[in-house]
Chain A
Amino acid sequence: MKPSAFTYHAPRTLTEALTLVATLDNARVLAGGQSLMPMMNYRVVQPEHLIDLGRIPELAFVEDTADGLKVGAMTTQRTIERSDVVQKRCPLLIDALFHVGHQQTRNRGTIGGSICHLDPSAELPVTACALDAVLTAASNNGRRKITFADFPAGYLTTSLEPDEILVQIDFGKWPERAGSAFEEYAVRPADFAIVSIATVIALDEGDIVTDARIAAGGIAPVPTRLTNVETMLKGKRVSSALIERAATAAATLPAEGDDMNPAEYRQELAGHLTQRALTKALQRVRASADT
């Protein structure tokens, strides 16, 4: 099972890479290769040109800024999961990465690669969805910011233009008095989730929910924000009854299923995981408020 022939390019700068994507036909951008290479080995994808971003140092970074955490698209999942800055500024990413593949794949797999592959049950796109991540796409014409909500164009398809490369993901400022959790169900722990839930909730000192973000993977062709569940929570005093209601609401959202994992099953999981995630996030708010 060998890939079909292609021409390999290893640009050393982003500018070089952007020129290549703008000029080459039937080209694919190679990030960590943990999704693209299997598809190429199976010859499901047969590009004529492969543009490897792995030699562009400017695309791999983790930056702690006043506006929040910024991560370069080519930063490996392993670097992120071991980053103290990420642990402090965006712990949800670390929780999500606990469920991503195996160390052998996280060592090479990148955050940008996963987000651009946009598998609906992959953990990092769901996390980006929950956090309203802002993606920076670069082209020879400059850079543009895309909020995650506008990023997916469909199943496994992004709204990047053919001459654009994802270069950076901004996760925004982590809310005050917030807790987060990433919960999923997969048949084996390292598999893509059947359903996953990423959540962040923030409370004021009177336990009123000031911010609530919940994103689900696996119920639709693209990661989905559970906005009406978030609305249910916001402004309310947090309680187990409230979480229960939120979970019930999550379980009644429309879901798309397949033969192996039908819609009804995914809905139930969405409800169950929402409850687990909110409960854990709440515990974490309280734990952080205590310290």
Chain B
Amino acid sequence: MSGKSLGTASLSPERSGELIGSSVPRVEDTRLLRGEARFIDDIVLPDMLHAVFARSRSAHARIKGVDTAAAKAVPGVHAVLLYADLRPLLTCDRIPLALAAAAVKFDAEPVCLVNDEACYVGEPIALVVADNRRIAEDAAALIEVDYDELPVVTDPHDGLLPGAPRARLDCPDNLTAEHVVKYGDVDRIFGTAAHTFSEQFRMEKGGGFSIEPRGIIARYDAVEDLLTVWNGTQTPHRAKTVMVQTLGLAEHQLRVIAPDVGGGFGPKAVFHPEEIAIPAAALLLRRPIKWFEDRLESFTATVQERRQIWNVEVAFDAAGKLGGIRGRIYHDHGANVPYGVALPYNGITNMIGPYVLPALHLTASLCLTNMVPVAPTRGAGRPQGTFVMERMLDRIARTLDLTRDEVRRRNLIPPEQMPYATPIKQRDGSVMTYDSGDYPQCQRRALAAADWNGFEERRVAALREGRLLGIGLANYVEGTGRGPFESTAIRIGASGQIFVTSGATAQGQGTKTMLAQLAASVFGVSPDRVHVTDGDTAATPLGLGAFASRQAVTAGNAAYLAAQSVAEKAKAVASVMLEVAPEDLELKDGEIRVAGVPKLKKSLAEVARALGGLPGFALPGNMDPGLAAAVDYQPMGMTYTNGTHIAEAEVNPISGAVKIHRYTVVHDCGRMINPMMVEGQVRGGVVHGIGMTLFELMRFDDSGQPLTGTLADYLLPTADVVPRIDIHHMESPSPLNPLGVKGAAESGTIGAPSVVISAIEDALRPLELRITELPILPARLRALIRTAQKAAKHA
């Protein structure tokens, strides 16, 4: 532990036992390993039909007509539905997804099916429901859409120029939102700075691409008057809210369940048109309907992210200390706004990172384009901001002939200033304040762990073999544990089984294990004695789900507090039943025992039965009924995870191939509940970041047609192209929550692009090459090298 404890982390050691902080095996694993899990496509309901969407082939067109006659005539087809067929079931024309933000100029909410104007290739136009998927696809292929083509917008800069065509005719222009983040006297700082330079950064499109695509099943049960929706989502409660609003149902008529979900990474937190179309069709046809996204749809119909242009200028002094940053960001927001407008804002605020930045003035313009809508993917805008800052710091180091670690050291926020209030005002009006951490120490430990100082020897040794080796360094901060709340309840019944229900929703993070581990730590039992139900609106009425690396902070603390409350009550009841003072009791192995008298004890089951009541008898000690507690935990503020990444990469200057040989992370997410799972999150995040740097690129042509539609074109990192990732931990407890925990799920992705590019530039140091774009595929890197080589020759 190297971080300072700054608050009142209320964790008493005897309560936490040894479970918190222990890499216990995951309770999820056995079912998954045996093939017994139930993912959306594994669920089969009696009388279930299968749906396929006919999607726009045009990036922008008026739909003059849709001929469904041939499709309807296919044997086995039950319905071919258009917007007009579903509209009578809806309370509104569009799906109400607008999130309030001052930056919004106008809302561009999606529709469940296109009525008159298709705005991207892949936007759903018609829904075919058939006996099976094969027949539905046969019919969908027969649907004829009459397109009246319209001009398209494919560039977020050009789309904002005067006279640019409109990406949506229902919007006044393409500027859907604009953020201005401004503090400090930027003009004065630039006027007097010893050094300034400007740079343009470009990041291209990429996405989540979980191995399980999206999917949904809707079943209306007339007996119960209940619409049940199994949804491969990160946010079932939000989905329920939107469905209730759009379908005009009351809460008791709708249950949303996220079953086993095969990876999320952001896109599954976003409400998509299919999540209205399928339930609406199930209500209309009174048959259960399944839709399971195919892989082509995951390229054309699921939200993507990352594409931005940053034109920025930085001012710094002769010592390399940052003075100010100013500039403009053009953000490609795709064809509508399904999940707010925070991405470039996240990028800007994350750009500051662990550094002292006296002045800032950035304007981010969010441009609608005729491509797949844009919403968060792992990192949610932050990798871009960190990339910009870290590239500029490397260039400052080069300009001043400083080492890259030194220029960072001079700018890092000193630990004695923690908690550190940045000059940034957040969307809720509060000041962005880093809660804890020791950034210089984190960098120091990373340099030592990666043997930074010994690298020159490795570089020289490699050079002797004709190999170009480089090393890179990057620091970052990630705001985690976003509120406003998460709900977790704990209930113990007559069986003595500990039940945890939570609004948290898992897609592989090990959320069940995390919650079970926390509850088990309080009851002194093994985590496998705790049963966790997550992602079910019937089990937990309120909840927010998985996004913003939040569930350990929000649901975790809720579970911990609820467990403590249940334990206190169990002790109080046992003290009445055993006629001993509560302070003489201890909770171990799920039993309340009289200390020193092993035979005097009550099991949790006995206490629960007592609190379950008997007709006409008083409850013990006149307690409230039931051995249960529910906590809606509201975090006081964001918790800030930080890290330093160091990578060593080899560059083949002829092919432009990059091979990462060593990768070191020093990571501080506060107190860890399960270090094995934290490391799993960090490693997966790093590899996602390596993907977005060296492999993954979603391409569109100038007419808005996607050029990438298979996993043979969109290259996900494979086992043979990623390095071992060596992780070291610091644990600076967050003073903002009882457990002292922070989030960990996205941080790896935020640091990886910066550090890999830093290593590549370093390997090519003699060429003075600057890489200001993501991704950098081999041919592109080779082109940069070729240009630099030619320039060097002429110089």
User: Which chain A residues have a beta carbon within 8 Å of chain B's beta carbons?
Assistant: 1-5, 38, 42-43, 185, 187-192, 194, 259-262, 264-265, 268-269, 272
Residues of the A chain whose Cβ atoms lie less than 8 Å from the Cβ of B723? none
Given A188-B695, A188-B715, A191-B715, also A5-B721 (CB < 8 A): no
Contact B655 A1 (CB under 8 A): no
Residues of the B chain whose Cβ atoms lie less than 8 Å from the Cβ of A272? 654-655
A264 to B699, CA, bound (A): 21
Contact A185 B657 (CB under 8 A): yes
Contact B133 A187 (CB under 8 A): no
* Identity of the chain B residue whose Cβ is nearest the Cβ of A265 in the assembled complex: B779
Selected interface stretch from B134-142, B541-549, B581-589 = B134-142
Residues of the A chain whose Cβ atoms lie less than 8 Å from the Cβ of B777? 187, 260
* Identity of the chain B residue whose Cβ is nearest the Cβ of A46 in the assembled complex: B141
A261 to B715, CA, bound (A): 15
Query: Is B328 on the interface with A (CB-CB < 8 A)?
Result: no
CB-defined A-B contacts under 8 Å, sample of 26: A2-B133, A2-B134, A2-B137, A3-B134, A4-B137, A5-B138, A42-B296, A42-B710, A43-B141, A185-B657, A187-B657, A187-B695, A187-B715, A188-B695, A188-B715, A188-B720, A188-B721, A189-B720, A194-B779, A260-B777, A262-B783, A265-B782, A268-B654, A268-B782, A269-B654, A272-B654
Residues of the B chain whose Cβ atoms lie less than 8 Å from the Cβ of A260? 699, 777, 779
Residues of the B chain whose Cβ atoms lie less than 8 Å from the Cβ of A4? 137-138, 141
Residues of the B chain whose Cβ atoms lie less than 8 Å from the Cβ of A261? 779
Contact B721 A189 (CB under 8 A): yes
Residues of the A chain whose Cβ atoms lie less than 8 Å from the Cβ of B783? 262, 265
A3 to B133, CA, bound (A): 10
* Identity of the chain A residue whose Cβ is nearest the Cβ of B132 in the assembled complex: A2
* Identity of the chain A residue whose Cβ is nearest the Cβ of B137 in the assembled complex: A2
A262 to B657, CA, bound (A): 15
* Identity of the chain A residue whose Cβ is nearest the Cβ of B656 in the assembled complex: A265
New A-B pairs, 20, CB < 8 Å, besides A189-B721, A194-B779: A1-B295, A1-B296, A2-B134, A4-B137, A5-B134, A187-B695, A187-B778, A188-B695, A188-B720, A188-B721, A190-B718, A191-B712, A194-B778, A260-B699, A260-B779, A262-B779, A264-B786, A265-B779, A265-B783, A268-B786
A1 to B295, CA, bound (A): 8
Give the residue of A1, A190, A259, A265 whose beta carbon is less than 8 angstroms from that of B137.
Answer: A1
A194 to B652, CA, bound (A): 15
Residues of the B chain whose Cβ atoms lie less than 8 Å from the Cβ of A38? 710
Residues 448-480 of chain B, each 1 if its beta carbon lies under 8 Å from chain A, else 0: 000000000000000000000000000000000
* Identity of the chain A residue whose Cβ is nearest the Cβ of B136 in the assembled complex: A2
Query: Is B294 on the interface with A (CB-CB < 8 A)?
Result: yes
Residues of the A chain whose Cβ atoms lie less than 8 Å from the Cβ of B295? 1
Residues of the A chain whose Cβ atoms lie less than 8 Å from the Cβ of B721? 188-189
Shortest distance between the CB of A237 and any CB in chain B (Å):
25
* Identity of the chain A residue whose Cβ is nearest the Cβ of B655 in the assembled complex: A185
A2 to B134, CA, bound (A): 6
Residues of the A chain whose Cβ atoms lie less than 8 Å from the Cβ of B654? 268-269, 272
Residues of the A chain whose Cβ atoms lie less than 8 Å from the Cβ of B141? 4, 43
Residues of the A chain whose Cβ atoms lie less than 8 Å from the Cβ of B294? 1
Residues 708-723 of chain B, each 1 if its beta carbon lies under 8 Å from chain A, else 0: 0010100100101100
Residues 330-368 of chain B, each 1 if its beta carbon lies under 8 Å from chain A, else 0: 000000000000000000000000000000000000000
Residues of the B chain whose Cβ atoms lie less than 8 Å from the Cβ of A194? 778-779
Which residues of chain B from 281 to 306 have any CB-CB distance to chain A below 8 Å in the complex? 294-296
A190 to B712, CA, bound (A): 10
Residues of the A chain whose Cβ atoms lie less than 8 Å from the Cβ of B296? 1, 42
* Identity of the chain B residue whose Cβ is nearest the Cβ of A258 in the assembled complex: B779
* Identity of the chain B residue whose Cβ is nearest the Cβ of A2 in the assembled complex: B134
* Identity of the chain A residue whose Cβ is nearest the Cβ of B657 in the assembled complex: A185
Residues 45-68 of chain B, each 1 if its beta carbon lies under 8 Å from chain A, else 0: 000000000000000000000000
Shortest distance between the CB of A243 and any CB in chain B (Å):
15
* Identity of the chain B residue whose Cβ is nearest the Cβ of A192 in the assembled complex: B712
* Identity of the chain B residue whose Cβ is nearest the Cβ of A266 in the assembled complex: B779
Residues of the B chain whose Cβ atoms lie less than 8 Å from the Cβ of A188? 695, 715, 718, 720-721
* Identity of the chain A residue whose Cβ is nearest the Cβ of B717 in the assembled complex: A188
Residues of the B chain whose Cβ atoms lie less than 8 Å from the Cβ of A187? 657, 695, 715, 777-778
A3 to B134, CA, bound (A): 7
Which residues of chain B from 741 to 782 have any CB-CB distance to chain A below 8 Å in the complex? 777-779, 782
* Identity of the chain A residue whose Cβ is nearest the Cβ of B695 in the assembled complex: A187
A15 to B710, CA, bound (A): 37
Shortest distance between the CB of B290 and any CB in chain A (Å):
14
- Which 3 A/B pairs are nearest by Cβ-Cβ distance? A1-B294, A2-B134, A272-B654
Shortest distance between the CB of B300 and any CB in chain A (Å):
12
A260 to B783, CA, bound (A): 11
Shortest distance between the CB of A258 and any CB in chain B (Å):
10
A264 to B789, CA, bound (A): 15
Residues of the B chain whose Cβ atoms lie less than 8 Å from the Cβ of A3? 134
A192 to B695, CA, bound (A): 14
Q: Select the residue from B296, B654, B695, B783 with max chain A CB neighbours within 10 A.
A: B654
A4 to B134, CA, bound (A): 7
Residues of the B chain whose Cβ atoms lie less than 8 Å from the Cβ of A185? 655, 657, 778
A45 to B699, CA, bound (A): 23
Residues of the B chain whose Cβ atoms lie less than 8 Å from the Cβ of A262? 779, 783
Shortest distance between the CB of A131 and any CB in chain B (Å):
25
Residues of the A chain whose Cβ atoms lie less than 8 Å from the Cβ of B786? 264, 268
* Identity of the chain B residue whose Cβ is nearest the Cβ of A195 in the assembled complex: B655
A1 to B300, CA, bound (A): 14
Shortest distance between the CB of B702 and any CB in chain A (Å):
11
A43 to B782, CA, bound (A): 36
Q: Select the residue from B134, B715, B778 with max chain A CB neighbours within 10 A.
A: B778
* Identity of the chain A residue whose Cβ is nearest the Cβ of B141 in the assembled complex: A43
Residues of the A chain whose Cβ atoms lie less than 8 Å from the Cβ of B712? 191-192
Shortest distance between the CB of A2 and any CB in chain B (Å):
4
A264 to B777, CA, bound (A): 15
Shortest distance between the CB of B652 and any CB in chain A (Å):
9
* Identity of the chain A residue whose Cβ is nearest the Cβ of B654 in the assembled complex: A272
Residues 636-672 of chain B, each 1 if its beta carbon lies under 8 Å from chain A, else 0: 0000000000000000001111000000000000000
Residues of the A chain whose Cβ atoms lie less than 8 Å from the Cβ of B137? 1-2, 4, 43
Residues 20-48 of chain B, each 1 if its beta carbon lies under 8 Å from chain A, else 0: 00000000000000000000000000000
Shortest distance between the CB of A247 and any CB in chain B (Å):
11
A262 to B782, CA, bound (A): 11
Which residues of chain B from 109 to 149 have any CB-CB distance to chain A below 8 Å in the complex? 133-134, 137-138, 141
Which residues of chain B from 680 to 712 have any CB-CB distance to chain A below 8 Å in the complex? 695, 699, 710, 712
A172 to B133, CA, bound (A): 48
Given A1-B296, A187-B777, A189-B720, also A269-B655 (CB < 8 A): yes
Residues of the B chain whose Cβ atoms lie less than 8 Å from the Cβ of A2? 133-134, 137
A224 to B229, CA, bound (A): 56
A265 to B133, CA, bound (A): 43
A21 to B360, CA, bound (A): 71
A194 to B778, CA, bound (A): 10
Shortest distance between the CB of A40 and any CB in chain B (Å):
12
Residues of the B chain whose Cβ atoms lie less than 8 Å from the Cβ of A42? 296, 710
A192 to B712, CA, bound (A): 9
A64 to B490, CA, bound (A): 72
Shortest distance between the CB of A33 and any CB in chain B (Å):
15
Shortest distance between the CB of A70 and any CB in chain B (Å):
32
